[in-house]
Amino acid sequence: MRTVWTASRIVLLVLYAIFALFPILWMLVISFKSDSQMFNTIWIFKPTLQNYKQVLGASGYLGFFLNNIIVSAGAVLLSIVVGVPAAYALARFNFKGRENLAFTFLSFQFAPALLIVLPLFIIYQQIGLYDSYFGLIWVYQLITLPLLIWVLRGYFEDISVEIEYAAQLDGYSWWRVFVKMLLPLIGPGLVAAGLLSFIFAWNNFTFPLMLANNNVETVTVASLNFIASDTVHYGQMAAASTISVLPEIILALSIQRYLVRGLSFGAVKG
């Protein structure tokens, strides 16, 4: 009976994996199809690299790719600098309005981008942040910072405060305790939160569409370049999308151990 249950569970997991990964698989298949083969669903065809050559060679896609790396990585780094102390304060210090403040941070994550992007568009044009790296990095904090704070807050709460007291009694300053002891202990959560923040920032479409132009155009917005007035270049769009997801897949696989531990070790409790 146990063997049947185990086999059934494996079959269900495989079916779910196929269902979940099918959009990525189909995108990969389309990226190797020519325009004449694009509007059929056959799986056996002559693959071509022409779509990748056109994306990487003629459209300036690598520049958009670099822009995405700069603004996404910059947003994550800035979120870590600001979010780690904020998460520690929300976990350790019991002050009036603490929960309300924490929920306010979280509410930024729920707010739709369209709600604030129009006022930001006007403000950015007036203060000179429109179509700049810092402008996008700054606004990406609305996506990355709440997630990072809430994940790391749970991690800090799981660490006994007596550890800090014992280290301080041994003569360590608070700063050394924070850097030498607490940061390594929250390492898996920091890696997991950083990766999730990077993915959310990398995939964002609304902010770069409204708050950036040619100087800081990202890959998500650059995908629109493959939509012409009379047709849509699905093959090139699929090739560009396939290239754009590579950093996320590589990062997720390279830190998979920390990611699983970070998301399962009480990191997402609220």
Q: What is the pLDDT of residue 79?
A: 93
C-beta separation of 38 from 234 below 8 A: yes
Confidence of residue 127 (pLDDT cuts 50, 70, 90): very high
Confidence of residue 71 (pLDDT cuts 50, 70, 90): very high
Q: What is the pLDDT of residue 70?
A: 94
Residue 134 has pLDDT above 90, yes or no: yes
- Cα–Cα distance measured from residue 214 to residue 222, given in angstroms and rounded to the nearest whole number: 10
Query: Taking the model in full, what pTM does it have?
Result: 0.82
Q: What is the pLDDT of residue 60?
A: 78
Exposed/middle/buried for residue 245 (C-beta within 10 Å: 0-12, 13-18, 19+): middle
Nearest to 32 by CA among 45, 16, 15: 45
**For the chain, percent of residues with pLDDT exceeding 90:** 18
Q: What is the pLDDT of residue 263?
A: 62
C-beta separation of 177 from 167 below 8 A: yes
Rounded average pLDDT over 183-210: 89
Q: What is the DSSP string of 99-163?
A: HHHHHHHHHHHHS-HHHHHHHHHHHHHHHT-TT-HHHHHHHHHHHHHHHHHHHHHHHHHHS-HHH
| pLDDT per position as a tens digit, 235-253 | 888 888 888 888 888 888 8
Nearest to 219 by CA among 30, 67, 75: 67
C-beta separation of 233 from 223 below 8 A: no
Rounded average pLDDT over 207-213: 90
Q: What is the pLDDT of residue 130?
A: 92
Q: What is the pLDDT of residue 262?
A: 61
What's the mean per-residue pLDDT of the chain? 85
Q: What is the pLDDT of residue 270?
A: 44
Tokens of 151: 């994940």
Residue 133 has pLDDT above 70, yes or no: yes
C-beta separation of 213 from 62 below 8 A: no
Rounded average pLDDT over 159-172: 84
Residue 1 has pLDDT above 50, yes or no: yes
Confidence of residue 126 (pLDDT cuts 50, 70, 90): very high
Type of residue found at 194: G
Residue 259 has pLDDT above 80, yes or no: no
Confidence of residue 260 (pLDDT cuts 50, 70, 90): low
Rounded average pLDDT over 138-155: 88
